[in-house]
Structure formats: C-alpha cells, structure tokens
Amino acid sequence: MIHQTIFNRLRRIEGQIRGIEDMVVAEKPEQEILIQLEAARSSLSSTIGTLIGSLLKKNEDGTVVLEESQIRALLRFVKRN
C-alpha cells in the first residue's frame, strides 16, 4: 500500500519537473520557475515524510520499534540534511 502511494507521488513530482523543464526551455521568468521548483521541493519533502512515517509504526504499547537497517537509513538521511 505505502509503495503505491509513494509511486503515485513520485509520478506527480516527475510531471512537475517536466513542466519546469518546459518553462526553462520557453524562457519563462525566473520567479515563475522558482515558484514551481519550490512546489516540487515541497512535494518531495511531503513524500519523504510519508515514507519516514511508514517506518515509525508503533507497537500495541505505543513504542516505536525499528530494525537496524531502518535506523541506518534514517541516520544516513538525517546526516545529509
């Protein structure tokens, strides 16, 4: 389920990027391109948040349990940002 959600969001982001490429080719004003770049960045950030949220599922007692590979992936992500 989460993979389909992520896939759908990435397809939308891909469309946004293609639209931005078209704007650059058409030499649209920089401020318009920046607005669309920010929208694409916001979409990507939201997608990342959804993916991270899917890792942070809680047990019956409310604690979050992560596998070691999940912890490593999150730490790599945090270190880069």
CA distances from 27 to 18, 30, 34, 57 (A): 14, 8, 13, 45
Phi, psi for residue 63 in degrees, rounded to 5: -85, 150
Pair of tokens at residue 71: 């912890």
Residue that has been written with the tokens 């391109």 in this structure = 33
pLDDT digits (tens, 9 = 90+) for 53-74: 888 877 888 888 888 888 888 8
Q: What is the radius of gyration, based on Cα positions, of the chain?
A: 17
- Tell me what the pLDDT averaged over the chain comes to: 92
Is the pLDDT reported for residue 37 higher than 80? yes
What pLDDT is attached to residue 67? 85
Please tell me the distance from the alpha carbon of residue 68 to that of residue 55, in angstroms, as a whole number.
12
Whether the pLDDT of residue 9 is over 80: the answer is: yes
